[in-house]
Structure 1
Amino acid sequence: MAELGDIVYKVRSKNAGPFWLTVDIFCGNPEAFHQVCNGLSTQRVASVFGTDAQSIKRFEISDLNVVKFSLPRPSIQGAITDRDMHGASWAALLSEVAIN
């Protein structure tokens, strides 16, 4: 099994407002897109980020070969408990997930 970061072109995370994060997986080609769509479940993403799968929104954009996940931030942006003000470090966690 390969890690997600080795299969795709880029994994990027960022703020989607002060209450949400978004993680974009740029697959680069249709084959990688289908591998990610079939090999990475929303439940798996939830377990990586320590959240409930029901709160995650999943978008599969085949025309762009992109899979996107949006999820509530664990802390409001800028709160004293916010460990990542810009939401950029979340991508690294998902990049290391093994994909079938």
Structure 2
Amino acid sequence: MTYAPGTFGHIATDIRSKNAGPFWLTIDIFCDEDSWTELTAAEVIAPDRIARLYSVTAEDVNVYLLPELLVIKISFPRPVRQAGPTDRDLHAGQQFVLLAETEVHEQGAGSTPTPTARYA
């Protein structure tokens, strides 16, 4: 998939999402040296920014930086439990798209991250 310049999906080497148990999901951002430097800069992957993007509380967002692997791991509660009657993404494999299509550098302080496209 091709992402717009300046988005997480364009800068990172790869982004994936998956379940982290039936109640949590995790997003893995794979980097090279250059993208690692840019994406680990202050506030680019802050819990409050991820919380606004995925409609969860910042206290529930865990961000893990794994410099040895050049990977950023983000975990937070699933919007609905896995395999529940309203679960539209059983394996959480599509949840990364919202982050991938979001511009890395926010337009203004306190602004809500805006993806370049929305899915219904």
TM class, shorter-chain normalised? Answer: over 0.9
For residues 9 and 51 of structure 1, the distance between their equivalents in structure 2, rounded to whole angstroms, comes to 26
For residues 86 and 58 of structure 1, the distance between their equivalents in structure 2, rounded to whole angstroms, comes to 20
For residues 34 and 53 of structure 1, the distance between their equivalents in structure 2, rounded to whole angstroms, comes to 23
Say if 2:43 is the partner of 1:41. no
SS in structure 1 at match of 2:36: helix
Say if 2:94 is the partner of 1:68. no
Q: TM-score normalised to the size of structure 1?
A: 0.92
Gaps of 5+ in 1: none
Deviation >6 Å, runs of 4+ = none
Q: Which residue of structure 2 aligns with residue 84 of structure 1?
A: 89
| RMSD across aligned positions (CA) | 1.2
Percent of pairs with identical residues:
36
Q: Report how far residue 91 of structure 1 moved.
A: 0.7
Q: Which residue of structure 2 aligns with residue 6 of structure 1?
A: 10
For residues 46 and 36 of structure 1, the distance between their equivalents in structure 2, rounded to whole angstroms, comes to 17
More helix by share: 1
Post-superposition Cα deviations, 1:8-40, rounded to whole Å, max 9, x if no partner, equal 11010001111110000001x222112111123
Relative CO higher for 1 or 2, CA cutoff 8 Å, sep ≥ 6? Answer: 1
Larger deviation: 39-48 or 57-66? 39-48
* Largest Rg, 1 or 2: 2
Say if 2:18 is the partner of 1:17. no
Contact 1:8 / 1:25 at 8 angstroms: preserved in 2?
A: yes
Say if 2:54 is the partner of 1:54. no
Q: Which amino acid is the alignment partner of residue 86 of structure 2?
A: T
More strand by share: 1
For residues 44 and 94 of structure 1, the distance between their equivalents in structure 2, rounded to whole angstroms, comes to 10
